[in-house]
Amino acid sequence: MAMTMTEKILAAHAGRPEVHPGELIDCTVDFLFANDITAPLAIKEFEKMGVAQVFDPDRVAFVFDHYVPNKDIASAQQCKITRDFVDGHNLPHFFDVGRSGIAHVLLAELGYVVPGDVFVGADSHTCNHGALGAFSTGVGSSDLAAAMALGRLWLRVPESMKFVFHGRPRPWVTGKDLILKVIGEIGVDGARYGAMEFCGDTLTHLTMDERFSITNMAVEAGAKNGIMEADDVVLEWIRPRARRAITVYRSDPGASYVDVREVDVSTLDPVVSAPASPGNVVSVREVGGVKVDQCFIGTCTNGRIEDMRLAARVLAGRKVHPRTRLLVIPATPAVYRQALDEGLVQIFLDAGAAFSTSTCGPCIGGHMGVLADGEVCVSTSSRNFVGRMGHRGSKVYLSNAAVAAAAAVAGKLVHPDEVVRDPVPV
C-alpha cells in the first residue's frame, strides 16, 4: 500500500506494516514535553496513576516559557510544582529561567526532535516540528501524563492533504505569508484533524526558520500535524544538533490525499490576518492606514533569528513612531545571543524598541505586552481571536516580521515598501 509521510511514521511507531486514515493505533513516543502552564496538570494526573517514574527520564522535558520570569504568585506556584517534580524524579531535561526559551524553538534548536520521530507536547503548536520531517502534535495534559508513564499514546491516523508551493517568493514575502495564504483559502477548520503536507519547489527558497513558521501554524487550520520532507536543507540543519538517529520518510508516489492544492507564491504580496481570525487573510495593502498602538515581533511562530534580521532590516536608521510601542522578543537564549553578536539588538534599541528575554507572554495576553480596550496590535504570533492578547475590545493583526516592523515605524499598517524604498529580496 502506498502511504504518506505521516502514515509511514505512525505505522513504524505502531509496529505495523501499514496504517489507514481513521484507524486508532497505539504508538510509541520518541520524546515529549510540557510547559509551565500545562506541566502541573500533567503532573497531577501522572501522580494519580501511582507510577513511580516516567517511562524514560531522557525522553521527557519541561520548559518554562509562558509566565516567566514569574509575573505573580499564581505563576510562581505553578512553576514550583514542576520544579519539585523535576527534583523528585531527577529529570535531566529541565529548562528554567535563564536557560529556557520558547519550547517549540528551543527543543528543535537543541536537537530533541529529529526526522522520523513521533513527538508530542502539551501545547497546540507542537506541530511546529513537522518541518523536520517528524510527526509532531499537541496533546492535552492528561494524554501527556499517560505518555509520561507509558511512553505510548493512542492516536487516530489523520487523513493527509497536500499543499504544493510553486515559484520564488517576492521581496518581503516569507513562510509566514505562505501559511496565512493557505489558512485564508481553506479556513480555520479546513484541515480539521488532518495532516497538512507541504512540498514544492518554493521550499528550496525558504530557510529552516521560514519552514518552521509554516508547520507551526498548521493547527490554525485545525490540523493534527503539519509536515515536510526532510530534504538536504533539513538534514544539514539537524545533523549537528540531533540527539538520536535520524530516519527520513518520504511519501510514496501513489499515496492518497483527500485534497491537493497548488499555490503560486510568485504573485503573493505580504498578507495579514485581520481581526478576529487567522483565516481572515487579506493583502497588507487592503488594510493600509489602520492606526497601530503596539507591534510585537516574537513567539514560536516568528521569534527566530531570521525574523530578527528581517525586522532589523526595516528598522535600521529609523525610529519607532512616538505613539506606537514595539516589543521584540527572541525565542531562545541562542537567538538572543546571535542578535547581540550581529548588532541587531543595537538597531532595535536605537529605533526605540523594547528588547526582552524569551517568553510567550504577549502572545496569550498574559505577560509583558497585554493590550488595553480599543488598542490595535500588529503581531507576528499565530492567533488573533477576540481577547487573545488582552482586553476583549482590543484587535490583533497577524503578520510577518517585516510588516510588523514597518507598522511600528509608520504608526499604522503599511507595506514594508512604504518604509524601505529599496528592498533586498528576502
Asked if the peptide bond before residue 276 counts as cis, ω within 30 degrees of 0, the response is: yes
Q: What is the CB neighbour count within 10 angstroms for residue 317? A: 8
Instruction: Judge whether 127 is annotated as a binding position.
Output: no
Alpha-carbon span 25 to 15, nearest angstrom: 10
Instruction: Judge whether 295 is annotated as a binding position.
Output: no
Given the DSSP bridges, would you call strands 395-398 and 376-379 parallel, antiparallel or unpaired? Answer: parallel
Task: Provide the CB-side half-sphere exposure for 116 (13 A, CA).
Answer: 12
Q: How far is CA 35 from the centre of its chain?
A: 14
Asked if the peptide bond before residue 69 counts as cis, ω within 30 degrees of 0, the response is: yes
User: Among 6, 200, 211, 13, which residue's Cα sits nearest to residue 104?
Assistant: 211
User: Among 364, 369, 368, which residue's Cα sits nearest to residue 382?
Assistant: 364
Helix axis angle, 73-89 to 39-48, nearest 10° = 50
Q: What is the CB neighbour count within 10 angstroms for residue 284? A: 28
Q: Is 241 helix (H, G, I), strand (E, B) or coil?
A: coil
Which residues have CB under 8 Å from 234's CB, separation 6+? Answer: 115, 131, 132, 133, 208, 211, 228
| DSSP conformational letter for 371 | B
Task: Provide the CB-side half-sphere exposure for 286 (13 A, CA).
Answer: 11
Instruction: Judge whether 27 is annotated as a binding position.
Output: no
Pick out the residues of the known binding site: 300, 360, 363
Pick out the residues of the known binding site for [4Fe-4S] cluster: 300, 360, 363
